[in-house]
Copies of this chain bind each other. A is one copy, B any other.
Amino acid sequence: MELNNKIPQATAKRLPLYYRFLNNLHIQGKTRVSSKELSEAVKVDSATIRRDFSYFGALGRKGYGYNVEYLLEFFRKTLNQDTVSNVALIGVGNLGTAFLHYNFSKSNNTKIIRAYDANPDVIGTEVGHVLIEDINQLEETLANIDVAILTVPGSAAQSVTDKLVKAGVKGILNFTPARITVPTEVRVHHIDLTVELQSLIYFVEHYPMDKK
């Protein structure tokens, strides 16, 4: 069961979500799940779930649903859950500290193994069992890490990004308010907390949801 590389990106984006929920079911001892149950849990409509699953060859059986263990095994291979993905975090302010304490350790094999900051009071300390290193040594010390989480102040976002690109990083999760510019071979996912909040407020005010 090999993942077809041509599945739509929208489908690929939902894979970690499905994985997380199926893993919870498995822990609870459940062996099968219907697309309706999945739909209610992950808040994706069941037609979309069925279409997504068909892309990777998992066809639910009517009146039975999907086999949890089969799906989990499939997703685990697909998402490389069996190998640990090493991540760097740049900027150990409040948000960076939150990430280091959380450190993704409970739910998957993604791990922040290096962290950098510019503040001499912070460099050399440990936060969430990760040693904070000097951001000025980033290019020399950051090796074999593909993905970085950017939690520096917006004013430092582009200069730090340039360092990350030079160090060979291929993906940046940008939590700063700044839009950053990278070479085409580097992928950026941007989560602007202010924009997220403003758009929620905008939707609440302008598109009130109807009571059913």
Contact = CB atoms under 8 A, between A and B. Distances in A.
Interface of A: 3, 5, 9, 12-13, 15-17, 19-21, 41-43, 78-80, 85, 87, 93-95, 97-99, 101-102, 104, 107-108, 110, 146-147, 149, 170-171, 173, 177, 179, 183-187, 189-212
Give how many copies assemble into the complex: 2
A139 B169 CA distance: 46
A209 B29 CA distance: 39
A43 B179 contact: yes
A41 B80 contact: no
Contact of A185 (B41, B85, B208): B208
B12 A194 contact: no
Given A43-B179, A171-B201, A204-B187, A193 B99 contact: yes
A37 to B, nearest CB: 12
B207 A147 contact: no
Contacts of A201: 80, 85, 87, 110, 146-147, 171
Contact of A208 (B170, B198, B206, B210): B170
Contact of A98 (B43, B93, B177, B206): B93
A28 B102 CA distance: 39
A11 to B, nearest CB: 11
Contact of A200 (B98, B173, B202, B210): B173
A197 B19 CA distance: 14
B189 A147 contact: no
A200 B194 CA distance: 21
Given A183-B211, A204-B171, A198 B94 contact: no
A200 B185 contact: no
